[in-house]
């Protein structure tokens, strides 16, 4: 029996445990920056496995290291552990027991998958070439996120390559996808307070109407992408909040706008920021209002290394077959896995978890979100095979 087949059998034997872990986490979710019990649960499993564990890294992030007996590279694998402030509406026995909080993005599945990977590697230390560094990252869902603190605490020191997956319901179970270069967008956010001059609805000439100023700005900001960005460079400017006024016959003196900016190219990202600043200054000035803009740069784009994407396609096809491995579409959602790829070569991968028959067809962040749990097994196999292929490449060390 070859090594890959042995790994497949070992992970298949761990699949019931993966499901058990995932459902426990699904019942007991914790939002970003509050993952205390989630981290404690992970540490409990890792400690039983005899892993070296560093905890409390930038909140509740933690790093587990499994050192092999043979020389070889250090490969990092990452899972995020946080949930979202969404009420779970599923009628299943493992539904969230925490009001207003649920795993609506699959991070429970990511964590369970990584615990299975840890279990496997702990069992083959005597045959393992190099080290495997398992990153259980907190607070992915809310910027500034948990990746940067882990990096600051040395998560990537001595690492040769880094891989991550996202269970992805837009793809059907059995399909995996990635792409070279930019795959997921940057995610910046801004809030704009417009300070005008309120007054009587029948005397508009004595006021500076913050609603009119804000309305003009909403329309003007849409022209940044449509008229000031190369149409071959995807980008989005969206206004999600417009708050102003309290009653029908009083002109509002204040308004608050909040929005998001998405882009794949750093130059486009910077251009949009500059154009938003200029547009706010110009239009507020025309009306005699003051515009207080708070612009925050969030996660950068996820940009995959070309050589590691080639590895993904080769290893993925060997593992799952030609038709199961696809080129991912570019996605305007963001991921702080991007920070790891700024420092080390690696690859981020979508693993199909959608299945209409199992009601796992809802969008991420939807209150009915669920997974085809078999996708966890695909994820575990894929990440381990990528790590072992990397380890075998320079020195022919094979588990």
Catalytic residue among 30, 82, 141, 305: 82
Unique residue bearing structure tokens 């026995």:
93
Q: List phi, psi (to 5°) of 347.
A: -155, 135
User: Is 188 annotated as catalytic?
Assistant: no
User: Is 82 annotated as catalytic?
Assistant: yes
Token pair belonging to 292 = 């207080």
Q: List phi, psi (to 5°) of 394.
A: -85, -25
Residues making up the chain, counted from first to last: 399
Enumerate the H helices of 129-265 as residue ranges.
Answer: 147-152, 210-228
Q: Dihedral sign, CA of 269, 168, 159, 151?
A: positive
Q: What is the DSSP string of 322-384?
A: GGGEEEPPPBS---TTHHHHHHS-EEEEEEEEEBGGGTB-SPTT-TT----THHHHHHHHHHH
Q: Dihedral sign, CA of 381, 308, 176, 298?
A: positive
Q: First CA to last CA across the chain, in angstroms?
A: 12
Q: Which residues contact 311 (CB under 8 A, 6 or more apart)?
A: 347, 386, 389, 390
54 closest CA partner among 169, 122, 135, 112? 135
Answer yes or no: are the C-beta atoms of 165 and 110 closer than 8 Å: yes
Rounded Cα distance, 118 and 130, in Å: 14
Answer yes or no: are the C-beta atoms of 184 and 348 closer than 8 Å: yes
Residue 388 burial (CB count, 10 A): 23
Q: Which residues contact 123 (CB under 8 A, 6 or more apart)?
A: 10
3-class SS of residue 121: helix
Answer yes or no: are the C-beta atoms of 30 and 82 closer than 8 Å: yes
Catalytic residue among 35, 140, 180, 388: 140
Residue 180: DSSP 8-state: S
Cα Rg of the chain (Å, integer): 24
Residues taking part in catalysis: 82, 140
């Amino acid at each position: 029996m070859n090594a890959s087949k042995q790994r497949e059998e070992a992970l298949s034997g761990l699949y019931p445990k993966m499901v058990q872990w995932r459902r426990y986490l699904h019942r007991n979710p914790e939002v970003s920056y509050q993952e205390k019990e989630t981290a404690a649960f992970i540490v409990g499993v890792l400690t039983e496995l005899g892993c070296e564990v560093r905890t409390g890294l930038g909140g509740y992030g933690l790093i587990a290291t499994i050192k092999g007996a043979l020389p070889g590279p250090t490969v990092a694998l990452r899972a995020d552990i946080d949930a979202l402030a969404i009420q779970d509406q599923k009628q299943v026995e493992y539904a969230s027991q925490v009001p207003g909080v649920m795993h609506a993005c699959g991070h429970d599945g990511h964590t369970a998958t990584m615990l299975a990977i840890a279990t496997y590697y702990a069992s083959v230390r005597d045959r393992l070439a190099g080290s495997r560094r398992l990153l259980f990252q907190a607070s992915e869902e809310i910027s500034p996120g948990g990746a940067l603190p882990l990096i600051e605490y040395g998560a990537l020191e001595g690492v040769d390559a880094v891989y991550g997956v996202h269970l992805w319901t837009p793809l059907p179970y059995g399909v995996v996808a990635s792409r070279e270069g930019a795959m997921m967008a940057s995610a910046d956010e801004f809030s704009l307070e417009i300070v005008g001059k309120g007054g009587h609805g029948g005397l508009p000439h004595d006021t500076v109407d913050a609603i009119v100023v804000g309305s003009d700005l909403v329309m003007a900001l849409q022209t940044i992408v449509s008229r000031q960005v190369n149409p071959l460079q995807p980008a989005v400017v969206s206004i999600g909040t417009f708050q102003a006024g309290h009653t029908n016959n009083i002109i509002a003196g204040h308004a608050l706008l909040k929005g998001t900016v998405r882009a794949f190219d750093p130059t486009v990202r910077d251009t949009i920021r500059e154009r938003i600043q200029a547009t706010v200054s110009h239009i507020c000035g025309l009306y005699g209002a003051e515009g207080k803009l708070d612009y925050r740069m969030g996660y950068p784009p996820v940009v995959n290394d070309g050589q590691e994407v080639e590895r993904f396609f080769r290893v993925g096809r060997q593992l799952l077959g030609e038709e199961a491995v696809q080129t991912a579409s570019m996605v305007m959602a963001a991921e702080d896995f991007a920070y790891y790829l700024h420092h080390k070569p690696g690859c981020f991968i979508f693993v199909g978890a959608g299945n209409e028959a199992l009601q796992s067809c809802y969008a991420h962040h939807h209150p009915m979100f669920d997974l085809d749990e078999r996708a966890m097994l695909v994820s575990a196999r894929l990440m381990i095979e990528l790590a072992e292929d990397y380890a075998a490449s320079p020195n022919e060390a094979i588990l």
